[in-house]
Amino acid sequence: MFQYDNRFTAELPADTEPRNFRRQVFAACYSRVQPTPVPQPRLLAYSREMAAELGLSLEQVQSDTFLQVFAGNEILPGMDPFAMCYGGHQFGNWAGQLGDGRAINLAEVRGGEGRRWTLQLKGAGPTPYSRTADGLAVLRSSVREFLCSEAMHHLGVPTTRALSLVATGQDVLRDMFYDGNPQYEPGAVVCRVAPSFTRFGNFEILAARQDEALLRQLTDFTIRNDFPEFWESRATAERGPQFYADWLAEVCRRTATLMVHWMRVGFVHGVMNTDNLSILGLTIDYGPYGWLEDYDPNWTPNTTDAQGRRYAFGQQPQIGLWNLVRLANALWPLVLEKEPLQAALQVYSDRYQAEFQGMMAAKLGLSAYDEGLVERLFLLLGAQETDYTLFFRGLATHQEHALADDDALGLWDAEGRPLAMASAYYRPEQWTPEIQQQTQQWLSDYVNLLRSTGVAGSVRREQMNRVNPQFVLRNYLAQLAIDAAAAGDVGAIERLLEVLRRPYDDQLDQADYAARRPEWARQRAGCSMLSCSS
């Protein structure tokens, strides 16, 4: 079924203890471990795009072998399952050893055009890193992970992928709200796919344990295999301290680009601990994430973060840098000079600022970033509950109509709201005369600025619609799919995924999936905030 390329286990040291029990693991990058078999696996959904990338036919995906492998019941010859050892800073504090507590990497394989992929089961049972948990996952979190992995890919956001979603046929005990009322929920396993699942924390744990030899070995392995062009650009004699600092700068560039994408589409990760930051600059670990609905830079989807709001939407760029500083500290033994590391970290700030400005200009259809215009816009969006996605999508239509018709009266509804964005406003009572005046003035200034460019409004609308999605995985949409699947309608997952495959298309026959959050979802569990429990 696969062409194997198990470099991680072939080239890096393994845990010498073969038994699977919870413990501290030293002088190793991973522990070999077998998934826990499940009683009644059933394939609920799969990604046809990811299957094609891996060279899997429809017949293979629908086979019993596929089902048993990606439920964790069967290990194919050539697979070498393992769980990674890593540490991390959680909510700003060093947490020590963490590791793959409920994720088991089945194998590294070759896909289309020789690309390397790691196949990983999430929810496949305990590992030495499970601490006090059972290593399992429930249906609700697994549906969210499966859908969001693929939704982000189709949005053009760097991300880990998902191949399959399998129900296990066994219930899992979870305390969803951490309120002392655990309940049994249906279990599930997701197969996650990425070129590598290496995190900042893989390096942090080795630095914390002062294992410089293994830190160097892991870093060289990572650069050679995951950054091959960077590795090959330097001769062996040039791979000294500056080499590692320059590689850190590349990680900073990728992380900055990722943060800009999150801000573009309104994604909030929810738990940006250093063990949840990919060394490749991918979105990784879809836990208590959320999609910004009404614009609020202080919003977090994570109940654990509700008080401190460390990982709120507007904090994500700063936390990205904070985490990179932790990575730089971990790489200190390989560099031993602060100036090269500081220069690498400056790359993050410079890249983020430049790409953020370019991104905002693109969202507004501008040829250049206008700081004053953007700052005024965010103040307006925050002055009343304004849907982030619908506002920007509607703005493309507003500017087109405004440039094509000098009769401004046709641009507003009876309450004085811009017709193209009227559906973006959640609370009509917040539409005060002051807000109306400020909004109309901003839109007038915006359209006058566009007129000076000479670009036709219809052309600009097409350009804006390529960066401002019509469809995102709104929290309530994910919850509806979870509810339907739990009730037996697994087709709801595929129907939603099909819409999310074309997030920038109008898809007029699927308009319900673009609607703003309904009032019933404002405080409902799974539709507003989520815990880390899954």
Judge residue 500's burial from the number of C-beta atoms within 10 Å of its C-beta, 0-12 exposed, 13-18 middle, 19 or more buried: buried
Residue 233's φ and ψ, nearest 5 degrees, are: -75, -10
Decide: 204 and 88 in contact? Cβ < 8 Å.
Answer: yes
Strands 116-122 and 103-110: antiparallel
Name the residue among 31, 67, 156 with its Cα closest to residue 500: 156
For residues 31, 32, 38, 41, the Cα torsion angle rounded to the nearest 10 degrees is 110
DSSP state of 78: T
Per DSSP, the three-state class of 27 is coil
CA distances from 412 to 324, 401, 428, 511 (A): 46, 11, 14, 22
Please identify every residue annotated as catalytic.
Answer: 275
* Token pair belonging to 8: 């991680």
Decide: 103 and 120 in contact? Cβ < 8 Å.
Answer: yes
Q: Which amino acid is at 236?
A: T
> Measured between alpha carbons, how far is 141 from 525 in angstroms, rounded to an integer?
13
- Dihedral of alpha carbons 230, 235, 236, 240, sign: negative
DSSP string, 446-511: HHHHHHTTT--HHHHHHHHHTTS-S----HHHHHHHHHHHHTT-THHHHHHHHHHTSTTS--GGGG
> Measured between alpha carbons, how far is 391 from 443 in angstroms, rounded to an integer?
12
Neighbours of 325 (CB within 10 A): 15
* Token pair belonging to 302: 């994570």
Decide: 129 and 83 in contact? Cβ < 8 Å.
Answer: yes
